[in-house]
Amino acid sequence: MTSLGDAIPYVAGALAVGGIAVTLSGRRDFMLRWCAWAVAVPVVVAALYAGPAGAAALASAAGIVCAIEYGRLTSLPRPDRVMLTVVVAVLPAAAWWVPSQLPRVLIAAVVAVALVPLLTGDAVGGLRRLSLAVLGVVWFAPLVGVVLLGPAALPVFVAVSLTDIAASFGGRLLGGPPLSPLSPAKRWGGVLAGAVAGLGALAVLDAFTVPLTVAVVLGAPLGDLLESMVKRGAGVKDSASWLAGAGGLLDRLDSLLVALALALLLT
């Protein structure tokens, strides 16, 4: 597998090619998304370059933002949001400090968010609150993979990012049947284009293994559909609006979360 230092030129090259492509497309939304990636990628690379501590800090920060967006998206009461945000932030830190105890920490996290509606005695909306909070823990827990996967974390991040971008272009160019009623705008042509781009990225970064291949090819579209299902249930288009042209952080990490989960299961 290509070392982190050796991978940096490839990542920079991919960003440059992407910048040229979005400029030629003339689409403002693509340009804004590329600008978001141009800022995010150096931050991710720097954090991973700092080792497990940097990876844990990066994953915890991402988890906090995603948990906040998810809490607002699903209209969870403030106590539930606070507890969910705390446990999601703790999980990557536990993966760094006490990886052998991570299963226990995960169980404790589920119990902690489940106790909030129980202890408040919510007989009307308690079941909904509990279900959504537990879903939040399960959904964001794979961020521990940023720590546990070690050098493989960067190839997964790059491959999933390119998969998302290629799927967006490919869906418009190639078309094909709709991917799912959950996201009618997504096309199988886009899934195919995204898979080719993701596998190409893994090959270039010398990370073309069966577990990572399955994680990228299946995780990226499934993660997108999962968030689409949640957003449709909440009746909103984006998880947030603070990323110009790109919604919220959860809109950008939805594919990565499921890909990380599959990578952890298979490696």
- pTM for the whole thing? 0.91
pLDDT tens by residue, the chain, 267 residues: 666 667 777 777 777 777 777 777 677 766 777 777 777 888 888 899 889 999 999 999 999 999 999 999 999 999 999 999 999 999 999 999 999 999 999 999 999 999 999 999 999 999 999 999 999 999 999 999 999 999 899 999 989 988 988 888 777 778 788 888 888 888 888 899 999 999 999 998 889 999 999 999 999 999 999 999 999 888 888 777 666 556 788 988 999 999 999 999 998
**What is the phi/psi pair of residue 77, to 5°?**
-60, 160
Report whether 205 contacts 158 (CB < 8 A). Answer: yes
Q: Please tell me the distance from the alpha carbon of residue 111 to that of residue 108, in angstroms, as a whole number.
A: 5
Domain ranges for the chain, please list them: 52-148, 149-267
Report whether 96 contacts 53 (CB < 8 A). Answer: yes
Q: Please tell me the distance from the alpha carbon of residue 206 to that of residue 175, in angstroms, as a whole number.
A: 31
Q: Please tell me the distance from the alpha carbon of residue 54 to that of residue 59, in angstroms, as a whole number.
A: 9
pLDDT of residue 239: 79
CA angle in degrees (0–180, nearest 5) for 169-206-208: 65
Write the CA distances from 140 to 92, 123, 244, 247, integer angstroms.
Answer: 10, 27, 23, 18
**What is the phi/psi pair of residue 121, to 5°?**
65, 35
> What does DSSP say about strands 178-180 and 183-187: parallel, antiparallel, or unpaired?
antiparallel
Two tokens at 206? 């010398």
**What is the phi/psi pair of residue 190, to 5°?**
-65, -40
Write the CA distances from 111 to 47, 49, 83, 94, 150, integer angstroms.
Answer: 30, 34, 11, 16, 28
DSSP state letter for 152 = G
CB count within 10 Å of CB 211 equals 17
Q: Please tell me the distance from the alpha carbon of residue 46 to that of residue 155, in angstroms, as a whole number.
A: 14
E-strand spans in the chain? 178-180, 183-187
- Amino acid occupying residue 216: V
pLDDT of residue 24: 74
DSSP state letter for 76 = -
